[in-house]
Amino acid sequence: MEWSFDSFGRIARHDRSSIALENAKAMFGRAALDGVSLLAFGNGRSYGDSCHNDAGLLVPMRSHNRILGFDEESGILEAQAGALLSEIIETAAPHGYFLPVTPGTRFVTLGGAIANDVHGKNHHLRGTFGCHIESLKLLRSDGMIHHCSNAENAQLFAATVGGMGLTGLILSARIRLMAVGSLDIEQRITPFGNLSEYFAIAEAADRVNEYAVAWVDQLASGRSEGRGVLITGNHASNGNRDAQGSETQLAVPFDLPFSMLNRPSLTIFNSLYFRAKSRKKEPHLTGFDSFFYPLDGVRNWNRLYGPRGLYQHQSVVPLEAAPHVVPAMLAASRDAGQASFLTVLKRFGDMRSPGLLSFPQPGYTLTMDFPNRGQRTLDLLALLDRMTIEAGGRVNPYKDQRMSAATFKAGFAQWQQFEQWRDERFCSDFWRRTALASG
């Protein structure tokens, strides 16, 4: 069957071959699978090619989305891998529970959240998504279902968490949710005039807040260079359990023939955004959807980048290097004439993930989005890679579409250990381009 399974970055857009889960199961353990590679595909929210398998078949998992059980006492929820985080929230919120870790979109599948070991605004307290997985069921090409946890098949569990779907098909998982007093967030916004001011307050903000994230005006120059706002938050205690969130009709309904996100438009947007946010210095309540998922309110917002798509670069650099490296990376982007629509800075803590290939490490993570302008964008991204690796950091694989094999292997020295646990019948475009390539 031929479908178009785009990644969210929309760089490589073409029809891709797929096979239904039940048909894939019928092939497992038989000679019919010889020479055919598989890869699960969730909801297409990965930015790069870690969710693509152009030399093989994709296995769509979204329709396998049943909530299998929920214990209101322990907060443990079990669901099939295709369930969206939004569906998990809708099930658990009326009982006073929320996700212990959530990425910036709720339209990620449970299987995708595990396979990418996603992180959120509270890594300093809760670590990654994988830290809260009680157990999972993994179907491998030998036809066997493997029950994995920290206590059972522990090495396979470690490879699967953050393993980008390469150890087999995650069928279902049990996750321990977090009890909260409300879905509402008590939010505080602290403006900073430059990055030195941000680094001076970031650690202290983490100590007293569940959530912390900074937005940086990447295009500001002169006396305003490095300005931004630190957004912190904690769950309120007002008992609001309404998980519906605010409805919006905002959408980008069709593909634009050009990118709307250029330097002049972003300069105006950043200036207005900084001023608007800076006015809200007093603590105030905000809904969970606007705090965690502001861009979910605009359907198909990635179309704003135009027909050539977007590259997202997310890096993490060690704590001691960040005050020097992060400003240099922002300056390099400006010098290259590249405008980032969304520039986000967060502090990772030292809570260790169970995953072999988990992205976070203690340090600061910088995320920038760039419209695809061909070779000059690729040249900038390669420069940002070098700056990251030279500082002792790493580049996020599940946000990537083009990093070199050398960049990946320098950031993830344990890739060879992981390769021992990869299912030989599972592969991705990313893995072929990096781990299986020379360099």
Structure tokens at 157: 């569990």
Q: How far apart are CA 61 and CA 82, in angstroms?
A: 5
Alpha helices (runs of H) in 117-172, residue ranges in sequence order: 123-126, 154-160
Distance of CA 133 to the CA centre of its chain: 17
- Cβ-proximal residues to 73 (8 Å cutoff; 6+ apart), any chain: none
Q: Do 220 and 327 touch, CB atoms closer than 8 A?
A: no
Q: Do 352 and 130 touch, CB atoms closer than 8 A?
A: no
Alpha helices (runs of H) in 234-371, residue ranges in sequence order: 263-278, 288-292, 322-335
Check residue 1 and give its pLDDT. 44
334: exposed, middle or buried (Cβ count in 10 Å: 0-12, 13-18, 19+)? middle
Q: How far apart are CA 332 and CA 184, in angstroms?
A: 38
Q: How far apart are CA 144 and CA 399, in angstroms?
A: 31
Residue 243 carries which side chain, given as an amino acid letter?
A: A
Q: Which stretches in the chain have pLDDT values below 70? A: 1-4, 31-33, 245-249, 253-268, 270, 272-274, 439
Q: How far apart are CA 94 and CA 90, in angstroms?
A: 7
Q: How far apart are CA 436 and CA 224, in angstroms?
A: 44
Check residue 304 and give its pLDDT. 81
- Cβ-proximal residues to 25 (8 Å cutoff; 6+ apart), any chain: 139, 143
Check residue 314 and give its pLDDT. 98
Residue 242 carries which side chain, given as an amino acid letter?
A: D
Instruction: Name beta bridge partners: 41.
Output: 60
Q: How far apart are CA 194 and CA 331, in angstroms?
A: 13
116: left (phi over 0), alpha (psi -120 to 50) or beta: alpha
The enclosing H or E element of 3 equals strand 2-4
Distances (CA, A) of 47 to 21, 50, 259, 304, 398: 23, 8, 17, 15, 7
Residue count (the chain):
439
Q: Do 323 and 196 touch, CB atoms closer than 8 A?
A: yes
Q: For residue 175, which phi and psi values (nearest 5 degrees)?
A: -125, 140
Which DSSP string corresponds to 181-226? Answer: S-SSEEEEEEEESSHHHHHHHHHHHHHH-SEEEEEE-TT--GGGTT
Q: Do 285 and 185 touch, CB atoms closer than 8 A?
A: yes
Which DSSP string corresponds to 356-407? Answer: TT----SEEEEEEEEE--THHHHHHHHHHHHHHHHTT-EE-GGG-SS--HHH
Q: How far apart are CA 262 and CA 338, in angstroms?
A: 8
pLDDT 10s digits, 328-367: 999 999 999 988 888 999 999 999 999 999 999 999 999 9
State the CATH architecture for 184-403: 2-Layer Sandwich (3.30)
Structure tokens at 185: 């967030």
Residue 288 in 3-state DSSP?
helix
Q: How far apart are CA 267 and CA 227, in angstroms?
A: 13
